[in-house]
Amino acid sequence: MSLKRKELEVLKLINTGKTVDEILFQIATSERNLRYIIDNLNFYLKKILDKWIEKDRKKLLVHLSESELRRFYKVVYENYYILEQEERAEFILMTFLFVKDVRLSFIEEKLGITRATLKKDIDVLNESLKRYSLKLESEKNRFSIVGNEKKLRHLKSIKFLEYF
């Protein structure tokens, strides 16, 4: 079992007092899927904080302090969080934009994924780089982003500003 971004978003919504209907609308999912998410969250909440989510008519209840939330997120991110494909693609992009001399084995190790998964993620990344007339290419087992230098600088500045 693991947790993903959507599940952590549900926990945040529950902790802020949103109703079931508000949560369903905000994350665009079914009641059945929400039940699965809550079961999964309860497993980790019980394991990490010895707390759980309770259901009261149309509300889901869990009361976590800021320090409990921080502790929960810290444990989850260190041990149980699984990046989704778009998050992995973003990590790969940031790595190739801002780190020199990157090997695929470095990325595989950091993300905890296989070479096949990495290649699929690179294909997804290349699709998004097309709008900048850029591409991630391999030369002698080294990858780099190639294409219009001005657009590459523009993309670097956009990503830099997003994170800082």
User: Which tokens is 39 given?
Assistant: 């079961």
pLDDT at position 56: 81
Tally the domains of the chain.
Answer: 2
**Where residue 19 sits, what CATH number does that domain have?**
1.10.10
Q: Is the predicted pLDDT of residue 139 greater than 90, yes or no?
A: no
What type of residue is 18?
A: K
Q: Is the predicted pLDDT of residue 123 greater than 90, yes or no?
A: yes
Pair (74, 114) in one structural domain: no
Enter the pTM of the model.
0.70
Q: Is the predicted pLDDT of residue 1 greater than 70, yes or no?
A: no
pLDDT at position 71: 95
Q: Are 26 and 18 in contact (CB under 8 A)?
A: yes
Pair (62, 113) in one structural domain: no
Q: Is the predicted pLDDT of residue 2 greater than 90, yes or no?
A: no
What type of residue is 36?
A: Y
Q: Are 145 and 134 in contact (CB under 8 A)?
A: yes
pLDDT at position 102: 84
